[in-house]
Amino acid sequence: MPFYYDVKIPAAGGIENGQSLVFVKWLTTEKSYVKPGAALAILESGHARYLLRNAGEGFFTPWSVREGEELTAGQAIGRITADGDLIPYGRAYFTLEAVASEKS
């Protein structure tokens, strides 16, 4: 029986729950199999750019998010479907990694 967990923008890397971020683009496609550490999307906050990375593995389903759409930390924007043994229990499901902004 497959399990799933929602792709939520984490409150991490200086981002707090409820803080706004702007969606830039998806880095993977619907129904693709993602491994731990895979970059799923690019988000921006002010002058910083972030990679949204997952900690588990499974099949990725993005939800309808448009380029330039304002999102908030804690908001769900997709889903990972996986065998229960592959869900990253006991640790953060997603991380934000700061990367160089293309604006700089």
What digits encode the pLDDT tens for the residues 1-18? Answer: 678 888 999 886 677 777
What are the CA-CA distances from residue 80 to residues 10, 13, 22, 39 (Å)?
Answer: 15, 22, 21, 13
What pLDDT does 101 receive? 64
Mean pLDDT value of segment 31-48: 91
Q: What is the pLDDT of residue 51?
A: 94
Mean pLDDT over 27-55 rounds to 92
Question: What is the C-alpha to C-alpha distance for residues 11 and 84, in angstroms, rounded to an integer?
Answer: 24
What is this structure's pTM? Answer: 0.85
Does 39 have pLDDT greater than 90? yes
Domains and CATH numbers, the chain: 3-99 (2.40.50.100)
